[in-house]
Chains A and B, each alone.
Chain A
Amino acid sequence: MATSSRDRKRRTRSRSKQRRKKVERPPRQPMPTRPAEERIRDFQEVALGFTAELAQKEAQRCLHCTNHPCIEGCPVAVDIPAFIELISEGEFGAAARKIKETNTLPAVCGRVCPQEEQCEEVCLMGKVDEPVAIGRLERFAADYEREHGEAKLPETDPATGKKVAVVGSGPAGITVAYELLQKGHQVTIFEALHELGGVLVYGIPEFRLPKKIVHEEIETVKNLGAEIKLNMLIGKTKTIDQLLEEDGFDAVFIGTGAGLPMFLGIPGENLNGVYSANEFLTRVNLMKAYKEEYVTPVKVGEKVAVIGAGNVAMDSARSALRVGQGKSDVSIIYRRSREQMPAREEEIHHAEEEGVKFNLLTNPIRFIGNEKGVVEKIECIRMELGEPDDSGRRRPIPIEGSEHIVEADTVIVALGTMPREFIADTTPDLETSEWGTFNVEEDTMETSKEGVFAGGDVVTGSATVIKAMGAGRTAAAAIHEYLTEK
């Protein structure tokens, strides 16, 4: 087995070399990006997207490998070589429709997917040169289709008369709704907040993912006939049992994400000026605190410290820069070293370009406030890396006697999130793990309760948009089967 796959790789590689000789392949096309000093003063998008010319040039780089490992690298199995082919032929709208056969939110994924760990990581072109910029091409096709009014609704099967409740409108829930609507089922989406989209609208900032684009992509499920119920916190406004027993839903999908922010649990954490990343980003994104005409307040001081080094931390730091109009001094405080930072390389790079500082191998031990109860300083301790821990990363160990003070008048804690308990608490026959995530059958996403399925961050803990969508697709297929047999 191993030999044959290696053989195949070798064959493809030699074939690609032959092709390389015949066709002069251009290098990977860089993404046009706004200059750092300009972009930190507003919330407009940083990456501008490919032009048709750049896209076609990049598309020529695809080798159209017969075994196309890129497709397996994508959690929703987008037919990558096929859509790239269409782009090189100038059939941009058709390329977008090709992607949409398996990916409901291509303009979103093209922007926020960690492609370097997914489709692009396994791209064969990457073995000889840099991988094909699959994500950028995906974004281009989706943007082209939307901007040129070419977006068409998919065909739907005849109505089945079955009703499905989708709880939560993040990428997982939206995907389930989209798939089941196409199969002719009736779908009602219940969302706790006042807008659809989950983390896409309250978490990921405008300069990385414009909300207009999220709204337009999500609009499809409305146009396919989904009934939308906002301001519905399931477990409070209604329970899962009520949906099944009183409201006549035949199946329920739970895609409620992992929204509960974690804190450090150190003294002074409830001082004013100490935000969770969720609170800071929600004030800025969902409540649009950075816009003059919106009344929700947000405060960014002169010295901002962001605790943590994942994507959420980078988003918080970069948002803080923008709220502060580029005048605030923003730094990341992280207890391990640069190599261990969990954020995407691209995000770290953008943050650095914009002037975010990195205070590494440093851990806060106490927040110190002024007489008004507002944070003023952080007592930190330096760390060194010891033996690898369970996750394989070297464990940070405090260096005795290295306590020191870092000035900070705004702190944003970005340590990760966990699922909330409203549904588990009010649905006793739903099994959860010790982390509060729902236990599901991997191939169907069915929970311990009949007719109830779950997927996305509420099952995996914080993960990615496309993994949540992959789970949504699996669940939708299983729900369809369940409804057909019922």
Chain B
Amino acid sequence: MYKVVSKKKLAPNITRFSVQAPAVAESRKPGQFVVIRACEEGERVPLTIVDSDPEAGTIDLIIQDAGYSTHQLCGMEPGDNLLDVLGPLGKPTEIHNYGTVVCVGGGVGTAVLYPIVKAMKEEGNEVITIIGARTKELVILEEELKEFSDELIVTTDDGSYGIEGFGSTVLKNMLEEGREIDFVVAIGPTLMMKAVAEVTRPHEIKTIVSLNSIMIDGTGMCGGCRVTIGDETKFACVDGPEFDAHLVDFDEQIARHQYYKDQECKLTEEIDKLEQEKA
């Protein structure tokens, strides 16, 4: 059993957890994830390891309430147990001293980005972090990221905080102003990652994205997470989740995400009904 040791709400729909998982805490590296299952009937849900404390044997997860399973997870309390935590999975981020690195995070992707920002800074890079959210109250990890960034820019879609607009536009402007950028990491909604890839492509700046494909086992056994990279099929859980943004077929990813929408919606309706009954 994997005990939830602490819980903190970061935004109305985003919660940070510390979970006991000593073997994972010991071996995990930035960019890797776990697959968890809350209960017997639950799905296997992939989640990035945001941070870890090997001494305490804990890992930190930041979960956005996006549907049935993540909703269930966000409802867990300290003292509760997760049934399964498997990891660390996926290839770690390639952390090198690239020079100037821009890290772009969107939505809960900002959480996925956090360990990478930290590692990039520790490796001696100049780190510029751009984080975006729909609105002010959904901005997460601002303080934590500031600590490891030479520059931190916040954007909101509605302009309620920081710069109004998208992170990709901020990056575009920087490049047009002639800023020297050696490496870009973008993590967030697929459309946002696609936009960043298009911004950096003409400048030939190496850009990586972290794909959140639909996964089951996370161990290379089902092929449900496959993605087209260049002309090759790769499994996001073993060959990724990070890939060269300029080779990813984003449209295919977007389509694959839609496949179970109707079934998921039914489950979400069920939650809503249950909650109305409770209220």
Contact = CB atoms under 8 A, between A and B. Distances in A.
Interface stretch (B47-55, B146-154, B187-195, B254-262): B254-262
Contact of B69 (A261, A263, A295): A295
B86 A238 contact: no
Given A270-B226, A294-B41, A295-B43, A232 B216 contact: no
Interface stretch (A157-165, A278-286, A311-319, A442-450): A278-286
A420 interface: yes
Contact of B23 (A238, A278, A296, A372): A238
A372 B258 contact: yes
Q: Give chain A's interface secondary structure class.
A: loop
Interface string B168-193: 00000000000000000000000000
A287 interface: yes
Using C-beta atoms within 8 Å of the partner chain, give the interface range for chain A: 35 or more
A270 B84 contact: no
Name, among B68, B224, B227, the residue most crowded by chain A CB atoms within 10 Å (CB to CB): B224
B216 A295 contact: no
B89 A236 contact: yes
Contacts of B37: 194
A282 B89 contact: no
A293 interface: yes
Contacts of A282: 216-217, 221-222
A237 B43 CA distance: 21
A272 B258 contact: yes
A259 interface: yes
A269 interface: yes
A237 B22 CA distance: 10
B165 interface: no
Nearest to B267: A295
A36 interface: no
Contacts of B73: none
Given A194-B37, A373-B252, A374-B259, A233 B219 contact: yes
Contact of A287 (B44, B219, B252, B264): B44
A273 B214 CA distance: 13
Given A279-B222, A299-B259, 6 more contacts: A237-B23, A237-B24, A237-B86, A272-B258, A297-B264, A420-B238
Interface of B: 23-24, 27, 37, 41-44, 68-69, 83-89, 216-217, 219-224, 226-228, 233, 238, 251-252, 255-256, 258-260, 263-264, 267
5 contacts: A193-B86, A230-B84, A236-B88, A275-B223, A373-B252
Shortest Cβ-Cβ A-B pairs, 10 listed: A373-B255, A279-B222, A231-B86, A276-B223, A259-B221, A272-B259, A297-B263, A194-B84, A297-B260, A279-B224
